[in-house]
């Protein structure tokens, strides 16, 4: 403990050096972030470009400028620090994902999401790893078995931000929650996989080690989730009991942020998966804690979390863009450009295959015994497949973790893997990203129109879409199937709506959901707060702004 | 530029190391911060304790625990990094100060505030420096002329947070704005002074160098202010022109935060005073930018800035508390404990004298030619004097900057100065801090009662206090003297209220204020937005929550 803390604090001390140089770099990054936001806003209406691509291109441009200013000599300019990423940038993104997720949709499709996110990622991982072993071993890159498994984990990590920016949560709730949920579970799974691989001596694989690996994986999954739920509930309990808002809104906001971050860091402290922990902490906080604070704190936390996530995401793409122009790693591979291109192409191919190998079979499985309304149709399957083709910051971070030591890429094999990762990330983000908007709009034509009208007129989407959907469904399907539309007051419905025999017979998840609701109302909410146990405010974090808008507008 | 950037980025990369240790330290700090918030909340009603003292004591306790765990051997545990402080912690505190300041009061008392903040700090600096030269030179501590001047700047930096927590902005607006304004200007002045001293070769002081020093000081002051105003106006213009809120609240919030931070960093980039820049940027942003964003963004930014400032402040005191228990620096002075105590006592004495030497004379000057209502009475003078006795994080940071190289304190003189600074900070914060609440309540008895009733009933303080104050004043004094009460709609008053002859004759500042308002309405607001040029919302950042509360409550 003592020695730990000692160096620990030296680390904190080294968070910044007394140089003027850190000032230059921070100023540069903040300026570029502002530029990304402004330009991203101006390109909002664009048919092709999205925020990530904007940030990547600005980053690339900056990299070129720096390269030119340094006369092409200055190698190793920007180092992608995977710890900067995992300690500061990833937590707000994942927490916000949990905080803003539509819980009802998420848990209704929980089985499918877990299937895609966990099993799918494992399938993808296996195919990419096996493919890498089969093909790269021929090419004599000097990689070991651990490297191949790491490659599988690295390229199993998807980045579905691009697609989510185009999909409309209110229009295609099932699809949205599948893509979104899969993205989060996939992040967690691939990071957990990656860590599980690093912890084991993989030179001698046998069935015991394989079983241990699986056991380790399951242990990480469950204990991380439990820790996140526990800390979320703790924050709800503390805020409900102490009622900070009586004295200060700022204390409430501060404790919510700090507890959220604490959940991530404490998971890392116990060598668990911070991503899973902070995600479930976010869900619990939005279900209980968020309802226990004052109105102003609700607005503040909701938007602050979203803003931090947004800035972190932009920062990552900017960083990746600038880092791409680091000469050193390109110089190592410059004597064998063909190999590098080949490796990138093979990886892209493996990604395509690895993803197709689970999306279509698992969709088929998932469609089994479902009502036509809940089935994933072929166009949606293609969208899901496409949504997971992009590779992003998680892949970059894992690749740097595996293939660099202190930012340097001396070994030829390592250098090739780093440059290939960059190529895959750039290619998939820019090229696939550019095609995403047109493709999704081609596959779901109505999505775009409604999406547009909603985002430009955020005043009455709820009141507009609820009756619309209600009229086209039967009574019980309104309750079960259109939760996304009645989500705002859906939590109150079960109390007045009798549970039908038909419902019990359909799928078990619904029954679980029903009993959970009863348990929640009877035991959890009285202790931890939540909607209905504090002064009533319509809307959850996700719906809040929609509900609030009209009232605010009128008030003004 | 090239080389600069190179190391720059390595600095960014070194923001975190891949060790598990940084995880331990961050978890520890976040946990302690949560503890500070909870305990601070529980002690809210306490007569003696305040937030800073809570954080200091928790920090000290943690330091003791670490010391015991390491068996008393582990020296140099926690290093106070002045760059962590100046780059990450100070900017949000100062920006929030500018953002939440009651502009009307601040600018009405601008002359007095500048007198106290700038001239007063210079007087204090001179007395402490001269005293240090006279006394410490006898004691043979091995300090040079630059060190003595630095000591003057270090101990001229006050920390008035304690007092501000007790004073009530609505009850004693003049006193509050003086203490608050002086605190900010004092911070800026002492840091600017400190930097100005470090930039010069002080072994040979002559009149040319002294003049250069003064010129440098004035240049820093003016250019920093101009930069802050410029960036604030730029943010207002961008947000007004582009209207981010159309698409996304998060973009608005993000750009406001980033521009605020950019103002600080760009000032540091040009070797100006970031504190002054970010303070004026905060003022401009609350006057223009804040009114150009959506309602949700207003609530979010207001509370987020306040929360960040609050967390940063708590963190600093926690850090100082833990750092106090670093053995190494105590070991160096352990052979001469008497000297260390003597130095601390002398410094405390110099602080008392140095402050008294300008508060009372300058108050007398300021009372000249003022109406009785605007005079600073003797009790208020004592409060102002007392408010500036505490020394805090700025002193610590400057002392570390001057007397440590890379965190080590090898030279005996340096070690003594560091330990004495810690002693002075601890003593003044804890002892003076404990007395502050009782003292202020003794000096201004009504303050406490109203303050209490206001903070526990935040629903209608404005509507309650406005008629109260209005009835006891003449008509013109309502307009001029009780700006704090009518502040919410005061900006609209001049348009309907004729400017009286009497007002023109009283003090020039008012006339300046009147013409500024005319200029603002005619030229500035149409370009940069601001209240009245966007959909009307009652209240400025400071009053917003009060006004919003009832409406929100009713709505729910």
Asked if the Cβ–Cβ distance from A300 to B303 is below 8 Å, we say yes
Cβ-defined contact of A249 to B4 (cutoff 8 Å): no
Backbone angles phi, psi at A98, to 5 degrees: -70, -35
DSSP of B165-234, one letter per residue?
HHS-TTTSHHHHHHHHHHHHHHHHHHHHHHHHHHHS--SS--HHHHHHHHHHHHHHHHHHHHHHHHHHHH
CA dist B312 and A78 (Å) reads 29
Q: Which chain A positions have a beta carbon within 8 Å of B95's beta carbon?
A: none
pLDDT at res. B396: 84
| Residues in a beta bridge with B400 | none
Q: What is the pLDDT of residue B436?
A: 82
Tokens 């009850």 belong to B171
- Return the pLDDT at B547: 38
Name the residue with higher pLDDT: A159 or A479: A159
Nearest to A79 among B10, B76, B254 (CB): B10
pLDDT tens digit sequence for A70-79: 766 554 545 5
What is the C-alpha to C-alpha distance for residues A346 and A360, in angstroms, rounded to an integer?
22
The answer to whether residues A55 and A36 touch, using CB atoms and an 8 Å cutoff, is yes
The residue that leads in pLDDT, A397 or A498, is A397
CB-based contact B555 A555, cutoff 8 Å: yes
Q: How far is Cα B330 from Cα A353, in angstroms, rounded to an integer?
A: 65
Give the C-alpha separation, B482 to B466, whole Å: 9
- B257-288 residues labelled b (16+ CB within 10 A) or e (exposed): bbbbbbbbbbbbbeebbbbbbbbbbbbbbbbb
User: Taking CA atoms, what residue in A is nearest to B14?
Assistant: A15
Of the candidates A12, A29, A238, the beta carbon closest to that of B38 is on A238
B8, A16: Cβ pair inside 8 Å?
no
Decide: B85 and B393 in contact? Cβ < 8 Å. Answer: yes
Which DSSP string do the residues of B363-409 spell out, in sequence order? HHHHHTT--GGGS--HHHHHHHHHHTT---HHHHHHHHHHH-BTTB-
C-beta neighbour count of A190 within 10 angstroms = 26
Does the structure show a pLDDT above 60 at A504? Answer: no
Considering only CB atoms, B262 lies closest to which of A34, A83, A84, namely A34
CB contact under 8 A, B5 and A15: no
CA B81 – CA A476 distance, rounded (Å): 62
Chain B CB contacts of A82 below 8 Å: 18
What pLDDT was estimated at residue B508?
58
* The predicted structure's pLDDT at residue A267: 92
What one-character-per-residue DSSP string does A15-29 give? TS-SSHHHHHHHHHH
Look at residue A298 and tell me whether its pLDDT is greater than 80.
yes
> How far off is chain B from A259, nearest CA to CA, in Å?
7
Sign of CA dihedral B30, B32, B35, B36: negative
pLDDT digits (tens, 9 = 90+) for A214-263: 788 788 888 999 999 999 999 999 988 887 767 778 888 999 999 999 99
Q: Look at A245 and A481; give whichever has higher pLDDT.
A: A245
Distances from the Cα of A393 to the Cα of A307, A385, B74, B467, B493, angstroms? 18, 19, 39, 58, 54
pLDDT for B3 equals 37
Q: In chain A, which residues have their Cβ closer than 8 Å to the Cβ of B27?
A: 262, 265-266, 268-269
- Cβ of B83 and A22 within 8 Å? yes
Instruction: Choose the mutation target among A15, A79, A281 for the interface with B, i.e. most B CBs under 10 Å.
Output: A15
Q: How far apart are CA B48 and CA B43, in angstroms?
A: 9
Minimal Cα–Cα distance from B251 to chain A, Å? Answer: 7
Residues contacting residue A402 through CB under 8 Å, at least 6 positions apart: A147, A150, A154, A194, A417
pLDDT of residue A16: 34
Residue-wise DSSP of A102-114: -HHHHHHTHHHHH
| Angle between helices A249-269 and B20-42 in degrees, nearest 10 | 150
Dump pLDDT digits (tens) for A417-461: 888 888 898 888 888 888 887 888 788 765 444 444 333 333 333
Asked whether residue A372 carries a pLDDT value surpassing 90, the answer given is no
A377/B contact by beta carbon, under 8 A: no
Q: At what angle do helices A90-100 and A274-284 cross, to 10 degrees?
A: 40
As a whole number, mean pLDDT of residues A394-410 equals: 72
Angle at B31 between CA A279 and CA A1, to 5 degrees: 110
* Cα–Cα distance measured from residue A17 to residue B14, given in angstroms and rounded to the nearest whole number: 9
- What tokens does B315 get? 């963190």
Return d(Cα A529, Cα A293) in angstroms, integer: 10
Q: Would you state the pLDDT for residue A508?
A: 57
Q: Chain B 387-426, CB below 8 Å of chain A: which residues?
A: 401, 407
Nearest neighbour of B37 by CB, restricted to A21, A246, A255: A255
Residues B203 and B483: their CA atoms lie apart, in Å, by 50
pTM, to two decimals? 0.79
pLDDT at position A73 is: 58
Helices (H), A482-522: 483-490, 493-496, 501-506, 508-519
B469/chain A closest Cα distance in angstroms: 25
Tell me whether B26 touches chain A (CB under 8 Å): yes
pLDDT score for A4: 39
For residue A249, what is the nearest residue in chain B, using CA coordinates? B303
A243: nearest CA partner in chain B: B41
What distance in Å separates the CA atoms of residue B231 and residue B253, rounded to the nearest whole number?
16
The residues, any chain, with a CB within 8 Å of residue A264's CB and separated by 6 or more, are A91, A94, A95, A274, A275, A277, A278, A281
User: Are the beta carbons of B340 and B442 closer than 8 angstroms?
Assistant: no
- The closest of B375, B392, B346, B343 to B186, measured between CA atoms, is B392
Q: What is the pLDDT of residue B74?
A: 54
Residue A461 has what pLDDT? 30
Over chain B (556 residues), the average pLDDT of each successive run of 10 is: 36 43 84 91 76 86 83 56 80 88 80 87 92 85 82 88 70 81 83 78 69 81 91 92 77 92 92 87 91 89 92 87 75 75 91 91 83 79 87 84 64 82 88 82 62 37 31 32 35 42 55 80 82 52 39 33
- Which tens digit of pLDDT belongs to each residue from A301-342? 999 999 999 999 888 888 888 877 776 667 777 777 788 888
Percent of chain A with pLDDT over 90: 16
Q: Which positions 132-191 of A are in contact with B (Cβ < 8 Å)?
A: none
Distance from CA of A349 to the nearest CA of B (A): 32
pLDDT number for residue A79: 59
Q: Where are the beta strands (DSSP E) in A133-267?
A: none
A10 to A59, A85, B73, B80: CA distances (angstroms): 31, 20, 16, 10
Whole-angstrom distance, CA of residue A450 vs CA of residue A369: 30
Helices marked H in B116-160: 121-139, 145-156
- What integer pLDDT is reported at residue B35 of this predicted model? 92
Model pLDDT, residue A346: 92
Is the distance from CB of A249 to CB of B303 less than 8 angstroms?
Answer: yes
- Backbone phi, psi, residue A405, to 5°: -120, 115
How close B268 gets to chain A, by Cα (Å)?
A: 7
- The answer to whether the CB atoms of B16 and A296 lie below 8 A apart is no
CA end-to-end distance (rounded Å), chain B: 56
* A2/B74 CB distance under 8 A: yes
């Amino acid at each position: 403990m003592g020695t730990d803390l000692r160096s620990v604090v030296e680390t904190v001390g080294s968070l910044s050096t007394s140089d003027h140089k850190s000032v230059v770099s921070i100023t540069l990054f903040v300026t570029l972030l502002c530029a990304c936001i402004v330009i991203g806003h101006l390109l909002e209406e664009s048919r092709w470009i999205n925020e990530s691509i904007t940030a990547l291109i600005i980053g690339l441009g900056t990299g070129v400028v720096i390269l030119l200013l340094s006369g092409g000599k200055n190698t190793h300019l920007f180092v992608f620090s995977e710890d900067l990423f995992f300690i500061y940038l990833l937590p707000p993104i994942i927490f916000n994902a949990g905080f803003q997720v539509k819980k009802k949709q998420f848990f209704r499709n929980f089985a499918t999401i877990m299937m895609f996110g966990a099993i799918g990622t494992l399938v993808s991982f296996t195919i990419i790893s096996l493919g890498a072993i089969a093909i790269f071993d021929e090419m004599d890159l000097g990689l070991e078995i651990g490297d191949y498994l790491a490659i599988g984990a690295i390229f199993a990590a998807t980045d579905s931000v691009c697609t989510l920016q185009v999909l409309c949560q209110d229009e295609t709730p099932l699809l949205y929650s599948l893509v979104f949920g899969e993205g989060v579970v996939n992040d967690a799974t691939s990071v957990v996989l990656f860590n599980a691989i690093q912890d084991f001596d993989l030179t001698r694989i046998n069935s015991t080690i394989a079983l241990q690996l699986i056991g380790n994986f399951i242990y990480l999954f469950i204990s991380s989730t439990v820790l996140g739920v526990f800390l979320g509930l703790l924050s709800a309990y503390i805020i409900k009991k102490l009622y900070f808002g009586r004295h200060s809104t700022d204390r409430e906001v501060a404790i919510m942020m700090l507890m959220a971050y604490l959940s991530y860091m404490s998971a890392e402290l116990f060598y668990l998966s911070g991503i899973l922990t902070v995600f479930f902490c976010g869900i619990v906080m939005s279900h209980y804690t968020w309802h226990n604070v004052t109105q102003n704190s609700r607005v503040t936390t909701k938007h602050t979390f979203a803003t931090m996530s947004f800035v972190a995401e932009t920062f990552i793409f900017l960083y990746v863009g600038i880092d791409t122009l680091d000469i050193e790693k390109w110089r190592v591979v410059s004597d064998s450009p063909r190999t590098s291109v080949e490796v990138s192409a093979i990886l892209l191919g493996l990604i395509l295959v690895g993803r197709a190998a689970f999306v279509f079979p698992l969709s088929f499985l998932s469609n089994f015994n479902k009502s036509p309304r809940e089935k994933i149709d072929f166009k949606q399957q293609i969208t899901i497949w496409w949504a997971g083709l992009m590779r992003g910051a998680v892949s970059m971070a894992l690749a740097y973790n595996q293939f660099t030591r202190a930012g340097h890429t001396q070994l030829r094999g390592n250098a090739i893997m780093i440059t290939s990762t960059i190529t895959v990330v750039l290619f998939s983000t820019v090229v696939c990203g550019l095609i995403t908007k047109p493709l999704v709009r081609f596959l779901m034509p109505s999505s775009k129109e409604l999406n547009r009208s909603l985002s430009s007129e955020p005043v009455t989407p709820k009141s507009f879409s609820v009756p619309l959907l209600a009229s086209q469904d039967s009574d019980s399907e309104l309750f079960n199937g259109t939760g996304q539309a009645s989500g705002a007051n859906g939590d109150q419905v079960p109390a007045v709506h009798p549970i039908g025999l038909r419902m019990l017979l359909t799928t078990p998840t619904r029954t679980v959901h029903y009993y959970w609701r009863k348990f929640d109302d009877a035991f959890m909410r009285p202790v931890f707060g939540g909607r209905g146990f504090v002064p009533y405010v319509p809307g959850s974090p996700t719906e809040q702004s929609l509900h609030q808008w009209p009232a605010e507008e009128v008030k003004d």
